[in-house]
Amino acid sequence: MKEEQSRKRRRGKHKKPQKTQPSLLPKHSTKLHKKTHQQKNPAHQSSSSSLKSSSFLDKMKARLAGGHFRMINEKLYTCTGKEALDYFKEDPELFDMYHAGYQEQMSHWPELPVNIIIKWLKERSSSLIVADFGCGDARVAKNVKNKVFSIDLVSNDPSVISCDMSNTPLRPSSVDVAVFCLSLMGTNYASYLKEACRVLKPSGWLLIAEVKSRFDPNNGGADPNMFSKAVCEMGFTSALKDFSNKMFVLLYFKKKENKSSNGREIEWPELKPCIYKRR
């Protein structure tokens, strides 16, 4: 809502909103982040005009970076985990670009779901073993005493396991808590949850935080009850459905002691991409 409003305001100011141009390939555009000759040598300009042009350049850079973030973000929501892994393997810089934009977006959220999950963990025994699926900057691992397996497509940190989370190197029934914080991005998201089910111990926790609009059936989002039913059919019971936050939903599940599969294929709802608007 807020995003929509701020977009309208900007549109009013600039009339023609710039589209993210597919021709602006992120790989090449990273060069734009480097200082230009003029910036390096401010003596070439009068101080006030250099100030003006540098703030203009900063604005342009921020706009470009925002465009790149939205392009990568859309890509991640519309491809499989395997495709996303190949995408980042080809150019790992894209991952940093994505995360810079992601942090910028998150800075506008009044409350971050990852902090709620950290709080949840801190209120429980630190002996619980955690797997953080799609860990990003590994904030969970950095803020709790528990043993945390941090998993993401790219690892900038030796403690992060880099892989597609539908196929992790974790042993079966080896973790107590599986976390998906804003990370059910791929079109094959069900395979991530199946992987979590495989690595979770019986009675283990599955904690999901997702962007609210993805579970808003009135706006093309998935039916949360259908999603919850699908997770339960995989061998879980629903433990919490919290829709109180404006930005995200929290869906917590507990793995059943004994998995009783009826052999029927599970019907997973489609989760629509979360497309961030220009700010």
Binding part of the chain for ligand SAH, among 36-44, 128-136, 238-246, 265-273 by CB under 6 A, reads 128-136
- Would you say 97 or 231 has its CB closer to ligand SAH? 97
- What phi and psi, each to the nearest 5 degrees, are found at residue 15? 55, -70
Among 97, 121, 135, 231, binds ligand SAH (CB under 6 A): 135
Per-position x/- string for 90-119, each x denoting binding to ligand SAH as judged by CB under 6 A, each - no binding: ------------x-----------x-----
Q: Does 26 interact with ligand SAH (rule: CB under 6 A)?
A: no
Q: How far is the CB of 163 from ligand SAH (least distance, A)?
A: 7
Residue 139 binds ligand SAH, judged by CB under 6 A: yes
CB of 79 to ligand SAH, least distance (A): 9
Q: Is 265 exposed, middle or buried (0-12, 13-18, 19+ CB in 10 A)?
A: exposed
How far is residue 96's CA from residue 93's CA, in Å, rounded to a whole number?
5
Distances (CA, A) of 212 to 35, 173, 208, 222: 39, 30, 12, 10
The contact pattern for ligand SAH, residues 205-224, with x = CB under 6 A and - = no contact, is: --------------------
Among 76, 144, 193, 222, binds ligand SAH (CB under 6 A): 76
CB of 211 to ligand SAH, least distance (A): 10
**DSSP per-residue letters across 241-269:** EE--SSSEEEEEEEE-SS-----PPP-PP
Q: How far is the CB of 275 from ligand SAH (least distance, A)?
A: 14
Contact status: 195 vs ligand SAH (CB under 6 A): no
What is the C-alpha separation between 8 and 278, in angstroms, rounded? 10
Backbone angles phi, psi at 233, to 5 degrees: -65, -25
Q: Which stretch binds ligand SAH (CB under 6 A): 21-29, 52-60, 183-191, 194-202?
A: 183-191
Q: Residue 147 corresponds to which amino acid?
A: K
Which one of the spans 45-53, 120-128, 181-189, 244-252 is the region binding ligand SAH (CB under 6 A)? 181-189
Please identify, among the stretches 58-66, 175-183, 221-229, 243-251, the one whose residues bind ligand SAH according to the rule CB under 6 A: 175-183
- In this structure, the number of other CB atoms found within 10 A of the CB of residue 122 comes to 12
CB 233 within 8 Å of CB 252? no
CA–CA distance from 128 to each of 64, 115, 125, 260 (Å)?
Answer: 42, 17, 6, 25
Residue 227 gets the label, from left (phi > 0), alpha (psi -120 to 50) or beta, of: alpha
List of residues contacting ligand SAH (CB under 6 A): 76, 81, 84, 102, 114, 134-136, 139, 151-153, 164-165, 181-183, 185-186
